[in-house]
Amino acid sequence: MRPPVLLVHVYSSVIDQERHQGEERRHAHHRALADARAERPSALARLAAAATRRARREDHSLTDYPCRLPDGSIGRTAVVQRDGEWMLVCRVV
């Protein structure tokens, strides 16, 4: 025996509603993921960061001794090699 047409329509509308609710959840989840993504820094920012890392890596020879810079501010003494000789120079902190 076939169910009345009205019951079949009600059942199909319930299935459609559940499918749409699942789609809404998936879309909401996708939007949340898209909003949470961190943007990649620009090429210029990455280049500046690389230059800063390299400069800091070269300053591994900084000592704890203070020194006076030509403009009168206080810097730190660093041991560097120039032209095959080791020298003490005053660096900006």
In tens, the pLDDT along 34-74 reads 887 667 788 898 898 888 777 666 556 778 889 999 999 99
To the question of pTM greater than 0.75 for the whole model, the response is: no
Distance, in Å, from the CA atom of 14 to the CA atom of 19, rounded to the nearest integer, reads 9
**19 residue type, one letter:** R
72, 63 in Cβ contact below 8 A?
A: no
